């Protein structure tokens, strides 16, 4: 929460003078803006030959929902969450398990190479423009294919002017504060966004007190140690050099802290999982001699700390830190001839665990 307040103060300090300067210009003439051509690394679902579904921002931006909640409402997608808001979530498409589904952020694979899973809820919905679901084969723009299909999370468009402030509150101490602002300055477009969400998750459960065959010993009590808190921020910049060349970059940061409830709802349980992540993505688009191309590079860092030193959740005391580093570079080229389109996607990835 202190981070979000500080971010908001800096945000409005920087934005207010620029916004007032725009309003003072009474001679401004707007001629309209031509619709931009869909970039080569974006999937046009209307012309996609496979089955695909697009969930737009308007469908979830006003709700207190995570990326898992949004996907859970889609046909053919099942989400299993443990521990309430912010808990561990797995996604299944048409019976496949989480490791068989590739998760992308703006076309960049975010699945963990060691476990095969991806943290859906590490990308707050306040920073999401749309979520694309491909349950059968994976579009060539996403390169890697998997048995269970693919999910592509698209961040909000920095080339669309935007001023948003959302405050949501719900049951069991759940709350969310988010803001997003995008505009242009000279030849550059920029986006600033921040999000903070938290939940106590103190709802009632039926505790069998490790005697499942003795219903008389069951008690109703509040779930212990399931609280959740996450803060995130993103900076996105872009520049149109010409109608055929443009650049954009994204820098995102998130930090979450989640209490891990025990099976027997142990009152002494203090187990927690803290995750901090940093991600940078750069992209350059160009059209040369009729060939549409995209060059991408980026890296991501994540630091997870699991603390169960009193052994309340596992079979023994545990205190484990996991660091993940991933480097990525890739290129897409596409050429249309007669009634055909030929596409090539090549990429290089290195992950250290």
Q: How far apart are CA 127 and CA 232, in angstroms?
A: 9
The distance between the two most distant Cα atoms of the chain, rounded to a whole number of Å, is: 79
Residue 328: CB atoms within 10 Å: 19
Going by DSSP bridges, is the β-strand pair 150-155/102-105 parallel, antiparallel, or unpaired? parallel
Q: How far apart are CA 298 and CA 282, in angstroms?
A: 6
Q: What's the angle, vertex CA 62, arms to CA 13 and CA 280, rounded to 5?
A: 55
282 band by pLDDT with thresholds 50, 70 and 90: very high
Can you read off the two tokens belonging to residue 249? Answer: 């970059």
Give 24-81 pLDDT, tens digit per residue.
Answer: 444 544 444 444 555 777 776 666 666 778 888 777 766 666 777 777 777 778 777 7
1 band by pLDDT with thresholds 50, 70 and 90: low
106: left (phi over 0), alpha (psi -120 to 50) or beta: left
Give 134-181 pLDDT, tens digit per residue.
Answer: 887 777 777 777 777 888 888 877 777 888 888 888 888 888 888 888
Give yes or no for residue 329 having a pLDDT over 60: yes
Contacts of residue 309, Cβ cutoff 8 Å, sequence gap at least 6: 317, 318, 319
Contacts of residue 193, Cβ cutoff 8 Å, sequence gap at least 6: 126, 127, 156, 178, 179, 180, 181, 233, 234, 236
Give 179-221 pLDDT, tens digit per residue.
Answer: 888 888 878 888 888 889 898 888 888 888 778 888 888 888 8
């Amino acid at each position: 929460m202190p981070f979000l307040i500080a971010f908001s103060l800096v945000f409005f300090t920087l934005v207010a003078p620029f916004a007032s300067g725009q309003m003072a210009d009474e001679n401004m003439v707007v001629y309209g803006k031509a619709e931009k051509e869909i970039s080569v690394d974006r999937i046009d679902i209307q012309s996609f030959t496979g089955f695909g579904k697009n969930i737009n921002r308007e469908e979830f931006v006003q709700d207190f929902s995570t990326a898992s909640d949004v996907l859970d409402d889609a046909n053919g997608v099942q989400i299993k969450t443990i521990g309430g808001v912010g808990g561990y979530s797995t996604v299944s498409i048409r019976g496949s398990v989480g490791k068989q589904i590739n998760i992308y952020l703006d076309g960049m694979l975010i699945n963990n190479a060691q476990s095969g899973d991806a943290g859906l809820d590490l990308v707050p919905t306040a920073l999401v423009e749309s979520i694309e679901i491909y349950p059968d084969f994976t579009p060539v723009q996403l390169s890697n294919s998997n048995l269970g299909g693919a999910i592509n999370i698209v961040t909000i468009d920095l080339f669309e002017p935007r001023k948003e402030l959302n405050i949501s509150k719900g049951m069991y101490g759940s709350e969310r504060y988010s803001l997003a602002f995008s505009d242009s300055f000279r030849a550059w477009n920029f986006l600033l966004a921040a999000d903070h969400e938290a939940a106590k998750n103190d709802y009632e459960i039926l505790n069998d007190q490790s005697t499942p065959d003795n219903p008389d010993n069951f008690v109703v009590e509040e779930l212990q140690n399931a609280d959740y808190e996450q803060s995130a921020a993103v900076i996105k910049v872009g520049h149109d050099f010409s109608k055929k060349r443009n650049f954009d970059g994204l820098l995102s940061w998130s930090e979450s802290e989640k209490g891990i409830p025990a099976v027997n709802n142990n009152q002494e349980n203090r187990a927690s999982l803290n995750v901090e992540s940093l991600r940078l993505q750069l992209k350059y688009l160009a059209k040369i001699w009729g060939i549409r191309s995209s060059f991408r590079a980026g890296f991501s860092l994540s630091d997870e700390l699991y603390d169960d030193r009193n052994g309340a959740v596992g079979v023994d005391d545990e205190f484990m830190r996991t660091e993940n580093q991933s480097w990525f570079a890739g290129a897409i080229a596409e050429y249309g001839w007669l009634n055909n389109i030929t596409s090539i996607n090549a990429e290089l990835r290195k992950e250290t665990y």
